[in-house]
Amino acid sequence: MKIVAEQIGKKYRKEWIFRRVNLILTAGTSYTFIGPNGSGKSTLLQLLAGNLPATEGQLAYSRNDTVIEPDNWFQQVSIAAPYLELVEELTLDELLTFHQTFKPFKTNFTLEIITERLLLTHARHKEIKYFSSGMKQRVKLGLAFFSESPIVILDEPTSNLDRQGMNWYQEQVRQLSPDQLLLIGSNQPEEYNFCPNVFDVMQWK
């Protein structure tokens, strides 16, 4: 899996958030985008996910040198981000069942295994609206980690997680498949201390 960004720029009204972003992102490793609040990390991740159009430049997805059409990009990507909400009226089991109707989980990942990996076996029949913020965050991350997606995008992955949650996050990252591509937006070194490719978005101002 490969994402190539060429001269990508994004402008909101009259303000350029970033310009001239050139990146080649390849599976089997991770990339982290850092920068102060409001610098454009989330916007860049949304663009790379194909959720937002670029104002200028080109973005391409390919797999084994075969181009993937933009209409099919969404099938390649799983995202966990603060601005993406869970369906609060559903129980955890209902949410996972609903989720897998449009984004299947990895092979052999049954609801039992997933809820165990989430450390939430006891809460399977509880509605999400009654989960603590840390429990919700683990669910969001789990949907990204355990779905069958070549690209995993995590924006502020450990917000609301305690020490145990941080250790859990690090463990799940280690268990990602070697053919997945991991993109992170972060301001906290502990979220990306394993990541060999760190870009400061301020370089693209």
Ligand X SMILES: Nc1ncnc2c1ncn2[C@@H]1O[C@H](COP(=O)(O)OP(=O)(O)OP(=O)(O)O)[C@@H](O)[C@H]1O
Positions that interact with ligand X (CB under 6 A): 12, 17, 35, 37-43, 185, 187
Residue nearer to ligand X on the CB measure, 20 or 106: 20
CB of 92 to ligand X, least distance (A): 27
Q: Which is nearer to ligand X, 18 or 105 (CB)?
A: 18
Q: Which residues lie closer than 8 Å to 71 by C-beta, 6 or more apart?
A: none
Least CB distance from residue 21 to ligand X, whole Å? Answer: 13
Nearer to ligand X by Cβ, of 146 and 192: the residue is 192
Nearest residue to 60 (alpha-carbon basis) of 106, 103, 3: 3
How many Å apart are CA 154 and CA 35, to the nearest integer?
Answer: 15
Pick the closest to residue 149 from 184, 186, 179 (CA basis): 179
Give the shortest CB-17-to-ligand X separation in angstroms: 5
- Position 175, amino acid: Q
For residue 184, report the phi and psi dihedrals to the nearest 5 degrees: -130, 140
We find the least distance from the C-beta atom of residue 173 to ligand X, in angstroms, to be 20
C-beta of 43 vs 137, nearer to ligand X: 43
Percent helix / strand / coil, the chain, rounded to 5: 35, 30, 35
| For ligand X, the closer CB: 55 or 76 | 55
Query: Is 91 exposed, middle or buried (CB count within 10 Å of its CB: 0-12, 13-18, 19+)?
Result: middle
Residue 174 Cβ, how far from ligand X at the closest point, in Å?
A: 25
Whose tokens are 């394993």? That residue is: 194
Cβ-based nearer residue to ligand X, 48 or 95:
48
Give the integer Cα–Cα distance in Å for 5 and 3. 7
The distance of closest approach from Cβ of residue 124 to ligand X in the complex, given in angstroms and rounded to an integer, is 32
